[in-house]
Structure 1
Amino acid sequence: MNSSIFTPVSPTINTSLKPHQNPLILIDNKRVACARARKHVTRTKALFSTTKEIVLKEFHQRRALKIISGLQNLDKYDVASVVIAADKGGATHVDIACDPELVKLATSLTSLPVCVSSVDPAAFPAAVEAGAVMVEIGNYDSFYDMGLTFSPEQILSLTKETKTMLPTVTLSVTVPHTLSLPDQVKLAQQLEQEGVDIIQTEGGKFSNPSKAGVLGLIEKASPTLAAAYSISRAVNIYVMCSSGLSSVTAPMAITAGASGVGVGSAVNKLNDVVAMIAQVKSIAESLNLSTIEEVVFEESNLRL
């Protein structure tokens, strides 16, 4: 009767062995696999770290311009129009609904960083897998129309859940204008402690200007400008001033302390993509974005 040379080996190891397979080789293989896994994790972290640097570059330079298509806008034609307008008009970021197919569409139309907005953290991973490089808990306007509001406790819970699932992805969180200004500041400070990268402000939805023209535009933007001013002086992370802004008030947001501006209805409510591009370009020029790009281009030509 032939006896295997591996008879003394414990049943746990023996069940995974093939004939004439040395258990020491298995151990070595496992060590190699673990080492490869560690290298993969390290490379992945480095990749996300580099991506975050790219996404936040314009915020660091206080020149970010994010064009928003709408959290519940799932119309591919509308979203494509907004993305094209952002790309051709000189924006630095584009914000769309959290849908993987829309992300794929957006990334096929632009090389701008794509942000997805949602109040459901479970929806973010699929969108990130599709190509989104930034996630936003916010753009609550459509929920206000339904009579829904979000408490600080709810927003903190959504933030923690998102950070647990996507710890290395750039995260922006909107502080609701439904809170008093002191409570907005307090929530922003709590979000900073949770590791949020960007605080976004809002307020245009609730502003009812009494004047026309430039005075009306300033009135429209005053709630979000006030929030940007107060929050930017209370936290050490980036603040994006959003909601109710125009080419007149976007520069005021930067002066107030914001590192960037978010523009939605001023662009996405237009029916013509050419008009959308013109509007984005007007806002970009008010922030001197086109001037910066032209200087960089001229300097690169001189180096050549």
Structure 2
Amino acid sequence: MLHPRLAAAFEQRSALKIISGLNNFDRDRVRAVVTAADQGGATFVDMAADPELVRLAKELTTLPVCVSAVEPLQLLQAVAAGADLVEIGNYDSFYAQGRVFSAEEVLALTRQTRELLPQIMLSVTVPHTLPLDQQVALAEALVAAGADVIQTEGGTSSQPHHGGTLGLIEKAAPTLAAAYEISRAVSVPVLCASGLSTVTIPLAIAAGAAGVGVGSAVNQLNSEVAMVASVRALAEAVNAAIALHR
């Protein structure tokens, strides 16, 4: 079940999700990211599945609030606090600890979450650690298990060899490849995330994504003013990409 506001954005292939981080529980940082998303023109925000953070976000914005976790019960508690949709994903912090997620584990988490939350909009990230053909197969299985949106990733697996624009494209290549392949295999919206920038957002839309998710390009900045400016630039990149495909 798609959230009404997000359904329209996905239909127009213009969804922009700003991610504060699965392990970011700093209220001031989350406040800054949510405010920047609200003022900068994002479609929705994504944060850790913490009830207090959800309540904070709901005080700051009318944008739909997505919560991320790999524990279904955490998602349930966040929805009770007012979250509009849930995400199984944002695995980057786990990769840094040496943990990877198998296709079977992600599928099991999806089924458990759907059983706990049968009516909520559910997005699931396909791990970039899987070979691309297995990512596609998992995406198809996730949709069959009840996923409403499939998210791609890949920024942490890419090792850019150049600076500037070429480096930005190299960094985004894995998630762009996944978005291209998965969007042609499933009927639900695909949200391309991880390692994206204003340079590569148009490539994500061209590859078949119905929206994009951006985290570090916003949440690693040191001032709210800079965060707002970054979100505005990202939103402009999305709008420019859509204009090219109309």
1:176 is aligned to 127
Q: Partner letter of residue 89 of structure 1?
A: G
User: How big is each residue's C-alpha offset from its partner over 1:107-126, in whole Å with a ceiling of 9 and x where there is no partner?
Assistant: 11010000000000011122
2:11 is aligned to 60
RMSD: 1.3
Q: What is the DSSP-based 3-state SS (H/G/I as helix, E as strand, rest coil) of the residue aligned with 1:288?
A: helix
- For residue 48 of structure 2, the aligned residue among 68, 84, 97 is 97
User: How big is each residue's C-alpha offset from its partner over 1:68-127, in whole Å with a ceiling of 9 and x where there is no partner?
Assistant: 000010000010110011111110010000000000000110100000000000111221
Does the Cα contact within 8 Å between 2:6 and 2:15 map onto a contact in 1? no
Distance in 1 between residues matched to 2:26 and 2:7, nearest whole Å: 28
Q: What is the DSSP-based 3-state SS (H/G/I as helix, E as strand, rest coil) of the residue aligned with 1:271?
A: coil
- For residue 275 of structure 1, the aligned residue among 226, 229, 236 is 226
Q: What is the DSSP-based 3-state SS (H/G/I as helix, E as strand, rest coil) of the residue aligned with 2:3?
A: helix
1:234 is aligned to 185
- For residue 37 of structure 2, the aligned residue among 79, 82, 86 is 86
Does the Cα contact within 8 Å between 2:111 and 2:146 map onto a contact in 1? no
2:212 is aligned to 261
Structure possessing the higher relative contact order (Cα contacts under 8 Å, 6 or more residues apart): 2
Q: Partner letter of residue 54 of structure 1?
A: R
Q: Partner letter of residue 211 of structure 2?
A: G
Distance in 2 between residues matched to 1:118 and 1:57, nearest whole Å: 25
Q: Partner letter of residue 160 of structure 1?
A: R
Q: What is the DSSP-based 3-state SS (H/G/I as helix, E as strand, rest coil) of the residue aligned with 1:262?
A: strand
Q: CA deviation at 1:206?
A: 1.4
Distance in 2 between residues matched to 1:77 and 1:222, nearest whole Å: 32
Listed as ranges, the gaps of 5+ residues in structure 1 are: 1-48, 293-304
Moved beyond 6 Å, runs of 4+: none
Distance in 2 between residues matched to 1:249 and 1:52, nearest whole Å: 26
Q: Partner letter of residue 205 of structure 2?
A: I
Distance in 2 between residues matched to 1:52 and 1:115, nearest whole Å: 11
Does the Cα contact within 8 Å between 2:127 and 2:153 map onto a contact in 1? yes
Distance in 2 between residues matched to 1:194 and 1:234, nearest whole Å: 15
Q: What is the DSSP-based 3-state SS (H/G/I as helix, E as strand, rest coil) of the residue aligned with 2:73?
A: helix
Q: CA deviation at 1:54?
A: 2.6
Q: CA deviation at 1:131?
A: 1.2
Q: Partner letter of residue 182 of structure 1?
A: D
1:225 is aligned to 176
Percent identity over the alignment is 60
Q: TM-score, normalised on structure 1? A: 0.78
2:145 pairs with 1:185: no
2:164 is aligned to 213
Listed as ranges, the gaps of 5+ residues in structure 2 are: none
Distance in 2 between residues matched to 1:258 and 1:183, nearest whole Å: 19
Q: Is the radius of gyration larger for structure 1 or structure 2?
A: 1
